[in-house]
Amino acid sequence: MAFKMKVSKYRNIIPKEFKRELWYPDIRPTATDNTGIACSGSYIVVNWASNAGGMMGLLPIHKPGKRIGDPKMVHAHNNPIADLAFSPFSNTLLATSSEDATIKLWRLPAEADISRVEPQTVSTLRAHKRKIDCIAFNPCCAGVLASGSTDKQLKIWNIDTGHPILNPPDLPEGLFSLGWNWTGSLLGSTAKDKKLRIHDVRSATPVVAEASCHEGVKPSRLIWMGRYDLMMTTGFDRTQNRQLGIWDPRNMVKPAKMIRLDSSSGVCTPLYDADTNLFFLCGRGDSAIRVYEGCEAEPFVMETTSVPSDGQSRGVCMLPKLYMRVMACEMNIVYKLTANAVVPTGFYVPRKRKIYDAELYPDTAGLTASVSTEEWFSGTTRPPVLVSMAPKSEFEEEVEAEPQPATSATTSTSTSTSTSTSTSTSTSASPTTSTSSSPTIPDASSSASAAAPKRNIPTIGRHSKYKNITGQPWMKNTWYENLRVNSNVPGSLIRANPKFFSVPWQGPGGRLVVWPFQNGGRLPTDPSWVEHGSDLNDFDCSPFNDNIFVTGGEDAKIKIWQIPDGGLTAITKAPASELVGHTRKIILSNCHPTVDNILCSSSMDLTVKLWDLQKSTELVSLVGHTDAVMNISWDWHGDIAATSCKDKILRVWDPRVNRQVSECAAVDGVKGFKVAWCGKKDKLFTMGFSKASERQWSLWDTRNLGKPMSSSSIDTSAGVLTPYYDADIDVILAFARGDSTFRFFEINDEAPYCHFLTEYTPAPNALSPTQSASIDVLPKRMCNVKTCEVFHVVRLSGVPPTNVERLSFNVPRNKLEFFQDDIFPPTKSTAPLATVSDWFGGAPTKEPELISLQPEGMIALSEAPSDVVTSKYKLLSDAERAAQKETTREDVLDRFYGRMQDFKEDEVKKPGSNDVITEEEWADY
């Protein structure tokens, strides 16, 4: 008879990825075959990327969110770390293995002391000869640790003495993974010879069973299925398809079940909850976490749900069951390591009332070992000591099912709080337990801190009016299509102003097509263009005259073009004027943002020149760069300029006196960087690369460039990010050529001074490709304030780029009938601050003229009338209530009997003497 799966309590489990403010951002994980992440009730440990090797970062588990600088870093080994594992009996005892053939045991400080107390090395285990790939603590004995190495040796350590007590015979190949069964008596392993083995390391025959496992050459993983006497493995078949195998140790001839998962290439990590028999699968490079439920007979596994996510996994780990919020019906929390963050995902069983449900939470393994080290090595076997998950009070208040980083505030255990504060790494056997009244799980290494109850209060994310900026593409009928863009231009591929947009066109001679913003549609195959005369390198448009465009080319010349109001009607080769002075090709040609008729250019002759466009003469030449200048940014008044250079140096200049004010080394990467002046603030924002080729941003104080005020990594993409700063709202839009994601940051005076807001990726579809070749941001006066549009972006999209479309970035708001004056302060007008002669002559700096964006006839939100709140029910005053006659029991009965008398009994047809009604007809009445 076939096994019939009973209805599961967890079949409707709901996964919920935590809010971004509860993530652990700014992570730099290293590439490793193992998971690279481990967690306990106090810490998340990440295998950190470092040129020094062997670094790990410590993240206090109750302190998610943004932080200043890197987390607590520990140089654990001289060579890269291979595996990490926390003791199941202590939140602060960590084991690390490395390519230097050593295992180190670490005692981490209490969470509150992490900033001032360094982690201590308890012992160093040396017996292996080569890289130690996997380590595993015994689940029932605190002093036993197993390790497997590429030297083909399996060792069982007594961590109290630091020596291997059991040394089984060498295996044919090195090990991939290790896993203990529920009672800690048997050890499973997978190896490079594609074998699955079961070891009884305390017996005379260490290997009691073996079988051919997954036939692929990539690593495999093993885990025991909790209380079931079954094993689970993940690996690859001959055709490199990922597999999930279920094995019965009593019959290893063939797997009890083998399931093909998919054809992805990442090694899949299984995580198993022995209490609920739920298990989770997530492979390296996967974006989703799969959830299954196991059973001890056919069909062995049943898929429950999956958790889609944007970030690709670098590894996963699971929070111990003791730290679940049982009042929220929280079953598990899985931490997924991505390229730049640790993302928690909670799993919840839906209930109408968020109260403790004993059916969902069987007793779980506690922090007390069931056998001592000496007993275990002498052959004693006991199951783990179980503790109750019941809350501390029967009348515990209900809580919402909102995931929080605090995990143990509503859970108590039956383990004893009397623990030792010595450095001993084992816990004495204690099969009996006593009740603890502490709201937190006691730690074997910190009884002093356990005495004081700790309230786990989540980090509250800072509020910002621009936190939820959303992108909205324009309709397809507004697009400009059929463009033949020359993608070989090294600079930006599109420039736009309120009248025109311009793109470099394919063909010889440095063609630039300037097209008016009218109704969208297909451009002709051969439109009219301006022809520079040599290959085009950069181009720009004037912020004061929409008809002026400039081009810079390989011929070391800059040409000025006057475009008619209706656009070009013929191919134009004769510029309005020409600037000659550079000796090598032009790199940049940018118009001054506050003074009309001033142009700033840079060249491969390593000079930056300022030009008077009216007289076509050179004003000044800035000398001092040692490599190509990547971009130039001006301060709020247009007096001081900052330059980014490929020599990694950020320089600040006062061009009117031809003097370099200051400089600093801005980045470590070799790809260069971009800089933006932060509006009215004395700050500079740079975006470049780290030594590990990770994209990063940094914020600098122009008065002290010794070190950045704040800095953080973003991701590992290759494009150089360009920051577009809106000085009105202090928000940065960051975008790189060829990227598909728009990122937003906010600058303010609160540490860490730069705050990530959100990111937007256009939805992929057949009409709108996600990849953008280049963008430009239109002036603020072009934004539609009636829809709360704060950025108006013109985007060149497609591979190769063939479309020009627009994107609106809006702030979601209610009461759109009012002008949102809190997010639309007065902005710069188009009036220049000075003439060329006044500015270069050193005239006093003027404040920019500001104009209001408030449309005529639209009331500002700050002046809007207050909402009139009307009550749904009319409440009687005390006098009205006293004047009313009190309703008595007799009044109620009189009204009831009066209604009953009005009821017409003859509405139901009753059979008379002359009526014949069948039983079926009578049933209808």
pLDDT tens digits for 176-228?
Answer: 999 999 999 999 999 999 999 999 999 888 899 999 999 998 999 999 998 88
Judged by DSSP in three states, 494 sits in: coil
The tokens describing 386, both together, are 């179980």
Strands 521-522 and 480-481: parallel
d(C-alpha 100, C-alpha 125), whole Å: 11
d(C-alpha 46, C-alpha 27), whole Å: 8
Q: Which ranges in 841-903 belong to alpha helices (H)? A: 878-883, 889-901
Contacts of 457 (CB under 8 A, 6+ apart): 406
Phi, psi of 211 (to 5 degrees): -155, 155
d(C-alpha 312, C-alpha 309), whole Å: 8
Contacts of 95 (CB under 8 A, 6+ apart): 84, 85, 86, 87, 103, 104, 105, 106, 135, 137, 145, 159
Give Cα separations from 164 to 6, 100, 871 (angstroms).
45, 17, 76
Block residue for tokens 């909670």 = 346
Judged by DSSP in three states, 840 sits in: helix
Task: Check residue 407 and give left, alpha or beta (phi > 0: left; psi -120 to 50: alpha).
Answer: alpha
d(C-alpha 543, C-alpha 830), whole Å: 7
Residue 314, number of CB atoms within 10 A of its CB: 24
Buried b (16+ CB within 10 A) or exposed e, 430-462: eeebeebebbbbbbbbbeebbeeebebebeeee
The tokens describing 728, both together, are 């009105």
The tokens describing 83, both together, are 């595996």
Q: Which ranges in 420-528 belong to alpha helices (H)? A: 447-451
**What confidence score (pLDDT) does residue 484 get?**
92
The tokens describing 2, both together, are 């076939």
Contacts of 805 (CB under 8 A, 6+ apart): 473, 474, 478, 479, 480, 768, 794, 795, 797
d(C-alpha 444, C-alpha 90), whole Å: 5
Q: What is the dihedral of CA 130, 133, 139, 141, to 10 degrees?
A: 10
**What confidence score (pLDDT) does residue 104 get?**
94
Taken in order 350, 353, 356, 362, the sign of the CA dihedral is negative
**What confidence score (pLDDT) does residue 903 get?**
62
Nearest to 154 by CA among 139, 138, 172, 169: 169
d(C-alpha 21, C-alpha 459), whole Å: 8
Q: Which ranges in 572-613 belong to alpha helices (H)? A: none
Q: 375: part of which helix (H) or strand (E)?
A: helix 373-377
Residue 173, number of CB atoms within 10 A of its CB: 13
> Tens digit of pLDDT for each residue in 537-571?
999 999 999 999 999 999 999 999 999 988 999 99
The tokens describing 111, both together, are 């969470």
Block residue for tokens 């600098």 = 700
**What confidence score (pLDDT) does residue 764 get?**
66
Q: What is the dihedral of CA 369, 370, 375, 376, to 10 degrees?
A: -80
Q: Answer yes or no: are the C-beta atoms of 169 and 159 closer than 8 Å.
A: no
What residues of the chain score a pLDDT lower than 70?
A: 1-7, 33, 393-462, 764-770, 867-878, 880-887, 902-925
**What confidence score (pLDDT) does residue 452 get?**
38
